[in-house]
Amino acid sequence: MDEQRERGPGGPLPARGGPGRQGPPRWIHGPRDGVGRGLPWLTTLALTAFVQIGSGFAAHAQPDREPLTALARVLLLLATAVLLFRHRHPAAVVSATAGLTLVYLGAGFPYGPVFLAVAVACFAAVVAGRRRAAWGAVGALWAGHLLLSHWLYEWLPPGGDGERPWGGELVVAVWVVAIVAVSELVRVRREQWAEERAERARAAQRRADEERLRMARELHDVLAHSISVINVQAGVGLALLDSDPEQARTALTTIKDASKEALGEVRQVLDTLRAPGEAPRAPAPGLDRLPELVEQAGSAGLTVDVATEGAPARLPPGVDLAAFRIVQEALTNVVRHSGSRHARVLVLYEGDALTLRVDDDGPATGAEAGGSGNGLAGMRERAAALGGTIEAGPCQEGGFRVTAVLPLPAGRGAKGRTAHREDQ
């Protein structure tokens, strides 16, 4: 679960790739956008009723146009009924609505709310990404209206109808431009909303990945240290089982205590995983538990001298936990990989940083110790997450040294420097 000896300081692990960039939802880009949506019955029925009733009032106000016959009602009904499929087939709907409206006007029926159906169909097509279809249909409707009003009016009903003024065509052109502009504005805004939702989803995924990585690191550090102690004591117990049963019993007791503590810490981590947001049932370990760590190392046959320099200050929880885990992992590496049975731990409180140094006299055993080889990498990740650094490598005088520097918030560190030693 830890890393073999390295020569000189190492760098951090490559950044883990986050989830791939997602584009806007499918409904923005094509005819597939309405596949999972129900038909808009309510809005279509309301629009149909409005167009039918409004056209009746428009017919009374335009006595020079043809009266609303059954054909006119059917054309109006068809022009609004196709809007039921405007989300599933926006291009076909806007073309059909524009064509039916042009037939309605060519038959000489009164102007009125029929243009509202064209506006709704055009809006739906532009928002769905069928911009060319929407522009083409509305442009064809306007060109057809020009043809009806200025060249074909003599052969079409109503009888005796004259050429329409060109000023009215300007009004129609402005109406067409306004519809397209509003539709484009809504389309762009909906794409922005979709991208914002996708970015929020990516950010949530990144936070989840970071939390899983943090939990995996916690589990690694807990299990690596405890299993190392258990492994050493199991070897001692097996070696002394026949020659010194009492010492073998002591080794088994140490195994029991180490496994119990490991289970407790693993349970705490898993409780946090199962109930995110709830306060942990037990406080996270910190440097105040350094004596327990020294005692556990002693049970594995490692003598640890601890020196504290500087006035101890209250550390932020994240720094306190990282400091404990770094010392724990460094001592685990000594137990697993070093031929030395003596280690030294220095805890240095400075004004703006906490320095941790773990030395052993070496040499490296060179034996296969098992594990994942991620011990030093995990320490570097912990330090880097807090803006700190880790250096690990052989010492000039022999042995191996791990040095960690963790920055402290302003006002947290201690300026004075005193010394305190605790040996075991």
- Helix, strand or coil, per DSSP, at residue 345: strand
- For residue 325, give every residue at least 6 positions away whose Cβ sits within 8 Å of its Cβ, in sequence order, or none: 217, 218, 221, 285, 378, 379, 382
Q: Domain total for the chain? A: 1
Q: Which residue has the tokens 């291009």?
A: 91
Structural domain span for residue 295: 286-424
In DSSP terms, 400 is beta-bridged to 360, 394
Burial of 409 (0-12, 13-18, 19+ CB in 10 A): exposed
Find out whether 176 and 122 touch, Cβ atoms under 8 Å. no
Question: Is 340 among the domain residues?
Answer: yes
Mean predicted confidence (pLDDT) in 256-277: 66
pLDDT digits (tens, 9 = 90+) for 18-44: 444 444 444 334 434 454 568 999 999
Question: Is 161 among the domain residues?
Answer: no
Estimate the crossing angle of helix 166-240 against helix 375-385, to 10 degrees. Answer: 130
Question: Is 273 among the domain residues?
Answer: no
Q: What is the CATH number of the domain that holds 419?
A: 3.30.565.10
Question: Is 272 among the domain residues?
Answer: no
Question: Is 80 among the domain residues?
Answer: no
Burial of 376 (0-12, 13-18, 19+ CB in 10 A): buried
Euclidean distance between CA atoms 6 and 20, whole angstroms: 34
Question: Is 50 among the domain residues?
Answer: no
Q: Which residue has the tokens 């019993």?
A: 249
Question: Is 9 among the domain residues?
Answer: no
Question: Is 184 among the domain residues?
Answer: no
pLDDT digits (tens, 9 = 90+) for 310-365: 888 888 888 998 898 899 888 888 887 777 788 999 999 988 899 999 998 877 66
Euclidean distance between CA atoms 104 and 74, whole angstroms: 10
pLDDT digits (tens, 9 = 90+) for 77-121: 999 999 999 999 999 999 999 999 999 998 999 988 999 999 999
